[in-house]
A and B are shown apart, each in its own frame.
Chain A
Amino acid sequence: MHLLENRGFVHPHASEITPRDAYLRRRELLARFATGAAGLALAGWAGREALAQTTRPNKLAALPGARSAVAGAVTMEKPTAYVDVTGYNNFYEFGTDKDDPAKNAHTLKTRPWTVAVEGEVKKPKVFDIDELLKLSPMEERIYRMRCVEGWSMVVPWVGYSLSELIKRVEPTGNAKYVEFVTQADPKTMPFVGSRVLDWPYVEGLRLDEAMHPLALLTFGLYGEVLPNQNGAPVRMVLPWKYGFKSGKSIVKIRFVEKEPGTAWNKAARNEYGFYSNVNPNVDHPRWSQATERRIGEDNIFAKKRPTLMFNGYEAQVGQLYAGMDLKKFY
């Protein structure tokens, strides 16, 4: 009797006896635990693959991209949450507060959409957005994004190198610069017409910068098409430059001989240079650029993290600026 008691088959109190239905569901429970554990293990294992295919937020149409093979195109840093990437940004056509684009950009019409590629090219062409989407295979690139205001994010973009498009239109010998003209429609963009900037918002690159494989013609983020507030349906992303250099909702790409006048350069020449490469050693006239706050990562009391030369892409883009005085060409 004593032995049996120790084995747990004899209980002195009825309350200590496992109820019959719970007893009968033991296997079901065990099975559930087992799959749960296996699921977790699998998730960890699959996570390494998932870096190339970030989890979709299931908000918009899917736009998958293969993991990019371009050097420096996939940082291992933790991507900023979708809600922050799409809820905290600058897109002055929809307002100057950083939650304005998310609030107001629903009015933007992204279909039909064409991008005119013109100027000093042998094959000028007006591309339909659907044609651009099929022009070259989509890649997922996880880039750091450093805003001139002193904050940064890590964003999984989807697109392909702008050079793919440039090669197809064949720039002439006169093409020295590329100008990006963005949408400026006062009917769908409530702040176009405000006196903040000259509209349309124009940005520009030197041709060799535009040809750099990291210069991304971007159609999506987080495995889906771009939300309106992030520059749908097509924008530029230049990870080694301050964010404002990456024009959103592009309607025209012009190849020109002279350096184009860019929106912020025209608004405040001494504050925003044509190059605007991320550079911790050249301060903005009104604030330091030596450090940055990573959105969603550093807690408010943490020290801001140091900003890296060319936003950490010096190995890839440094040679574009060899011999240039970056204090002069800021």
Chain B
Amino acid sequence: MRGTPVRPELVEGLVASVGQRFDRLGPNGAGARRRKPLLLRPLAKPVLFVACLLPFAWLLYGAISSVYGVNTLGANPAETLIRATGDWTLRFLCITLAVTPLRQWFKQPSLARFRRMLGLFTFFYACVHFLCYSWLDMGLVFDDIVRDIPKRPFILVGTSALLLMTALALTSFNRAIKWLGAARWQALHRAIYAIALLAILHFFWMRAAKHNFAEVAVYAAIITGLLGWRAWGRWRDRTQPAVSSSSTP
């Protein structure tokens, strides 16, 4: 399975049945039935959901309290908000892209349950990032935003990534897979790779002003690793098709 296209049955919802089957058989036989693996417990998803909201809650608290003169976000809270929401978008993008490799390396098929939620949180933080930029930097003046997007290449790149993400978010529910057909749905959702490259270019270009690439390099290395691992798997599958399905759940 490594490197081959993401199969529709791995998409959450359908994956739940895999999880249940997995649970019934158990990794350690019948004895494991009493205590479900952590990842399959019903609470796992709400817990992850709340955890994903924590950075947002912290930033929202900082934004509101800054209006009342309490500064948890430093001397320039607007700048902190714009940058922090961008950072969190990148982090969630990396986490989302890491689901498939982690699932295979650690033989944890149930990780796939969380992929859609993580992807949607990436989109959520990207939207908040864009809102912060257009509100705190551009004062929600539509004309100024429209003029700013082509003026600054890194804004154009970031906006393109957001538009692509919107397409993925709008087709993220189960019925969209049926409507589009699994093959087309997969092709569309491979746009996540393009989004990752646009996101890192956006960050690189922003930091280019100060020649400050230390953080960019960290994210670039992670994204290169995650995409490179997929490319390598694909290349290996092509050259040695016999071993390809060894890690399929």
Do A and B interact? Answer: yes
Min distance, Cβ A325 to any Cβ of chain B, angstroms: 22
Q: In the complex, A267 Cα to B211 Cα: how many Å?
A: 10
Given contacts A196-B211, A286-B209, A287-B152, contact A295 B75 (CB under 8 A): yes
Contacting residues, chain A, for B211 (C-beta < 8 A): 96, 195-197, 267
B77 at the binding interface (Cβ < 8 Å)? yes
Mark interface residues in A81-107 (1 if CB within 8 Å of B CB, else 0).
001100110000000101100000000
Q: In the complex, A61 Cα to B205 Cα: how many Å?
A: 42
Mark interface residues in A289-312 (1 if CB within 8 Å of B CB, else 0).
000010110011101100000000
Given contacts A195-B211, A196-B210, A196-B211, contact A300 B66 (CB under 8 A): yes
Asked whether, in the complex, the Cβ of B136 is within 8 Å of the Cβ of A301, the reply is yes
Min distance, Cβ B46 to any Cβ of chain A, angstroms: 31
Min distance, Cβ B69 to any Cβ of chain A, angstroms: 9
Q: In the complex, A286 Cα to B78 Cα: how many Å?
A: 19
Min distance, Cβ B135 to any Cβ of chain A, angstroms: 7
B139 at the binding interface (Cβ < 8 Å)? yes
Q: Which of B81, B148, B209, B212 contacts A300 (CB 8 A)?
A: B81
Q: In the complex, A98 Cα to B139 Cα: how many Å?
A: 23
B67 at the binding interface (Cβ < 8 Å)? yes
Min distance, Cβ A101 to any Cβ of chain B, angstroms: 12
Asked whether, in the complex, the Cβ of A99 is within 8 Å of the Cβ of B136, the reply is no
Q: In the complex, A300 Cα to B144 Cα: how many Å?
A: 18
A151 at the binding interface (Cβ < 8 Å)? yes
Min distance, Cβ B210 to any Cβ of chain A, angstroms: 5
* Contacting residues of chain A (1-27) with chain B, CB-CB under 8 angstroms: none
Q: Which of B75, B148, B151 contacts A88 (CB 8 A)?
A: B75
Asked whether, in the complex, the Cβ of B67 is within 8 Å of the Cβ of A151, the reply is no
* Contacting residues of chain B (150-189) with chain A, CB-CB under 8 angstroms: 151-152
Q: In the complex, A296 Cα to B79 Cα: how many Å?
A: 12
Q: In the complex, A195 Cα to B79 Cα: how many Å?
A: 25
Asked whether, in the complex, the Cβ of A301 is within 8 Å of the Cβ of B76, the reply is no
Asked whether, in the complex, the Cβ of B210 is within 8 Å of the Cβ of A96, the reply is yes
B40 at the binding interface (Cβ < 8 Å)? no
By size class, the interface of chain A is: 20 to 34
**Beta-carbon nearest neighbor of B73 in chain A:** A300
Min distance, Cβ B156 to any Cβ of chain A, angstroms: 12
Q: Which of B63, B76, B148, B212 contacts A151 (CB 8 A)?
A: B76
B74 at the binding interface (Cβ < 8 Å)? yes
Asked whether, in the complex, the Cβ of B210 is within 8 Å of the Cβ of A88, the reply is no
Given contacts A88-B74, A286-B209, contact A300 B136 (CB under 8 A): yes
Contacting residues, chain A, for B75 (C-beta < 8 A): 83-84, 87-88, 98, 295-296
Asked whether, in the complex, the Cβ of B139 is within 8 Å of the Cβ of A286, the reply is no
Asked whether, in the complex, the Cβ of B78 is within 8 Å of the Cβ of A293, the reply is yes
Asked whether, in the complex, the Cβ of B151 is within 8 Å of the Cβ of A286, the reply is yes
Q: In the complex, A263 Cα to B153 Cα: how many Å?
A: 24
Contacting residues, chain A, for B144 (C-beta < 8 A): 288
Mark interface residues in B134-153 (1 if CB within 8 Å of A CB, else 0).
01100100001000100110
Contacting residues, chain B, for A304 (C-beta < 8 A): 139
* Contacting residues of chain B (64-120) with chain A, CB-CB under 8 angstroms: 66-67, 74-79, 81
* Contacting residues of chain A (184-202) with chain B, CB-CB under 8 angstroms: 195-197
Asked whether, in the complex, the Cβ of B74 is within 8 Å of the Cβ of A300, the reply is no
Given contacts A96-B210, A96-B212, A304-B139, contact A299 B67 (CB under 8 A): yes
Contacting residues, chain B, for A88 (C-beta < 8 A): 74-76
Min distance, Cβ A95 to any Cβ of chain B, angstroms: 9
Across the A-B interface, give the 6 residue pairs with the lowest CB-CB distance, nearest first.
A88-B75, A84-B75, A196-B211, A96-B212, A300-B78, A299-B67
Cross-chain pairs A/B with CB under 8 angstroms, 25 sampled: A84-B75, A87-B75, A88-B74, A88-B75, A96-B210, A96-B212, A98-B75, A98-B76, A99-B74, A151-B76, A196-B210, A196-B212, A267-B211, A287-B151, A288-B144, A293-B76, A293-B78, A295-B76, A296-B75, A299-B67, A300-B66, A300-B81, A301-B67, A301-B135, A304-B139
Starting from the known contacts A87-B75, A96-B211, A300-B63, 18 additional A-B residue pairs (CB-CB under 8 Å) come to A88-B75, A88-B76, A151-B76, A151-B79, A196-B212, A267-B211, A286-B151, A286-B209, A287-B151, A287-B152, A288-B148, A293-B78, A295-B75, A295-B76, A299-B66, A300-B81, A300-B136, A301-B136
